[in-house]
């Protein structure tokens, strides 16, 4: 949605798949159509954590996987850069990201929130996760470890990624159904769909925040000194000395926080007439305005009268 010109209505501006703004062009099997960088990074880490060498989260043999964008080299070309360069986040900006919830204000908001809560219940059940009760420890069966967190991340990114993967694996079949359902829903009500994604990203920020807290508290020892995958280092332009698993989670959470803001903002606009404020030039440049980076994050989104 960031690459659309300022004169294009939101309906067209928001049509660019979310994954397109997040996934770089990378070599080998990682360059799979529709994959978000955070999804690929999680899967890469999952393979490193696997003791038996098998692929986690799928029973599809590697030989059956289709590579959509194999690396192409010519006499003069070594690699191809991403068409959607990622904004550079600072450590200070990422540390300031907080969980926030936008209260439902109308029937459309309640529909979107209800759908996210239903998905949340299903994901919690599938991944064995429960929010810790305030002031009380979690029952032992709900305590998280590295493998449980990765399973939850992949479930979360599978839903949030939306664009389909190879139809030859389980994730692709699930995402294909979700993508088509979301596409039809967007034709019917862009407002509800953007609010749905905004609420979904709120859950993502909460999930990654709790994982970061557990990692920093020493509850995830396998990740203490684990290096971030090369795809993550390249995509987020992670600087030297900040390329560990903790840093990766901070970057992913910052992405989710920005997508939370963007989708709540787009849901507040008139999708038939309003331009995309994230690529617009404003008359008054002295006021705070929507940006692509984390230099300014508005967790519950910008209201229409603030940007139009």
Known binding-site positions for Fe cation:
157, 170, 201, 256, 259
Q: How does 86-121 read in b/e, with b if 16+ C-beta sit within 10 Å?
A: bbebeeebbeebebbebeeeeebbebbbebbeebbe
Q: Residue 213: which of 44, 97, 64, 43 has the closest Cα?
A: 97
Q: Please state the residue numbers annotated as binding site.
A: 157, 170, 201, 256, 259
Beta-carbon count within 10 A of 233 CB = 19
DSSP class per residue in the chain: -TTS-TTSBHHHHTTS-GGGGT----SGGG--TT--HHHHHHHHHHHHH-SSSPPTT----GGG---SS-----SS-S----SSPPPPPPHHHHHT-----PPP-SHHHHHHHHHHHHHHHHHHHHHT--PPPTTSPPPGGG---HHHHHHHHHHHHHHHH-S---TTSHHHHHHHHHHHHHHHHHHH-HHHHHHHHHHHHHHHHHHHHHHHHHHHTTS-GGGTTPBPPHHHHHHHTPPTT--BHHHHHHHHHHHHHHHHHHHHHHHTS-TTT-B-GGGPPPS-TTS----SSSSS--TT---HHHH-
d(CA 308, CA 302): 10
């Amino acid at each position: 949605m960031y690459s659309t010109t300022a004169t294009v209505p939101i309906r067209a501006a928001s049509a660019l798949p979310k994954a397109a703004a997040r996934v770089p062009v990378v070599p080998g099997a990682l360059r799979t159509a529709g994959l978000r960088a955070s999804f690929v990074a999680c899967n890469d880490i999952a393979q490193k954590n696997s003791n038996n060498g098998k692929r986690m989260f799928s029973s599809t043999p590697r030989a059956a996987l289709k590579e959509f964008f194999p690396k192409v080299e010519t006499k003069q070309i070594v690699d191809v850069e991403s068409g959607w360069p990622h904004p550079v986040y600072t450590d200070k900006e990422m540390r300031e990201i907080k969980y926030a919830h936008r209260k439902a204000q109308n029937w459309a908001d309640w529909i979107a929130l209800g759908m996210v809560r239903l998905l949340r219940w299903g994901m919690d059940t599938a991944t064995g996760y429960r929010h810790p009760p305030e002031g009380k420890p979690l029952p032992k069966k709900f305590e998280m470890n590295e493998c449980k967190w990765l399973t939850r991340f992949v479930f979360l990114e599978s839903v949030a990624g939306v664009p389909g993967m190879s139809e030859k694996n389980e994730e692709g079949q699930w995402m294909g159904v979700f993508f088509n359902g979301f596409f039809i829903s967007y034709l019917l009500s862009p407002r509800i769909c953007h609010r749905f994604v905004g609420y979904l990203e709120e859950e993502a920020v909460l999930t990654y925040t709790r994982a970061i807290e557990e990692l920093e508290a020493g509850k995830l020892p396998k990740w203490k000194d684990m290096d971030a995958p090369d795809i993550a280092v390249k995509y987020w332009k992670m600087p030297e000395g900040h390329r560990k698993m903790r840093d990766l989670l901070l970057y992913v959470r910052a992405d989710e926080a920005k997508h939370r803001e963007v989708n709540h903002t787009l849901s507040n606009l008139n999708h038939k007439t309003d331009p995309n404020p994230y690529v617009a030039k404003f008359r008054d440049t002295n006021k705070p305005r929507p940006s692509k980076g984390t230099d300014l994050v508005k967790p519950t989104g910008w209201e229409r009268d603030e940007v139009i």
